A and B are shown apart, each in its own frame.
Chain A
Amino acid sequence: MRLVLLVLLTAPAACAQVETAPQPPPPPVTRQEAAPDTTADGRTQAEVAVAATIAEPGVHVVHFWAPWCGNSRAEFEAGWYEVVEANPDVSFSFVTIWNDGRDSADRLARYGITPGDRVAVFAQPDRGPSADRDLRRRTFLGLPLSWTPTTWIFNRGGQLAYAFNYGEVSPDMLATAIEHARDEWTHD
């Protein structure tokens, strides 16, 4: 994982040298306590959008990934798109993290997942270059993020039902969790 991350983080810089003439260096990115794209309460635009989505009735999947992460790609290659297609009543929000603010929708499309009425693509910006681990955002909607890929499933108007914050989630695991989140349970 670490090796893959290192290689892929350095790869774009190598490509840029080949594709373009020498350019002046970009302005330095500094640490930002409140990035311009955050709301007054500190939420990013991605958080605002996802919060609105999961507040709706039904079951909602929020998936955090990065195109440079082999575990993220392995999940998609295992056939996540089949679960997306098989659950037309479920919303899916694909949020890139630690990816310099790019949503990488084109990469997602390679795995058969494209934005639509119930499939949305977002990028969660960091507080500076994502290569600097100290500047990465480690929460989303107040919940902990410590691993990519991470998958959360919400129901009951935005309540967390399941969180998979480590390893990889197979299509079968995802389908089962969606099915269980859809179940009607009662309490005294």
Chain B
Amino acid sequence: MRSKKAAFLRIAVVVLAVAASASLASAQALNSGAQPITLNATLAESLTLSLSASTVNFTLGAGSATNAGSTSITATTAWVLKPGRTAVTVDAYFGSAAAALTDGAGNNIPSSAFDIADNGGASTALNNTVAFGAANAGLRLANVAITGANKNSNRTDAMAFNINLSGGSLPQLPAATYTGTLNIQAQATP
């Protein structure tokens, strides 16, 4: 009698287990296969510089230290940089230190007589060797350290120009029209 009861209990347990597993199976969600879409997003590295104007005139006074340009020019520099970059520099430079401007007849205004006051700062001659241009013919307007906070950023440099004809032989500069090209350029390093 006891044996029959035990057998009955065993059968009941098996039946319940089967019923439970069947219930679980029927409640199982059906999934499709996962279909992948490969995403490729490119954020291109960029460094641009634009100027508010591209021409400046000077009316020179012989021997004068102060010959301001006709207008200030604002350089707007914008960048989107890779993680490895640590600095962005903005340089102004001439192709020649000795003949930044020339009358084409052998009379020149050197870069050392050409001053830029950047963002209201001190007027400084272009007599450094910078990343671009001739030796001793440039001026670093800005050197921006790049951190996680300004990998994508921009800056403006409002430049006021002056030609100083008071130094060296420049007081003897003959009357003429002197032309030259001042370049403004930015560089991200390394």
Whether chain B is bound by chain A comes out as no
Which A residues contact B (CB, under 8 angstroms)?
none
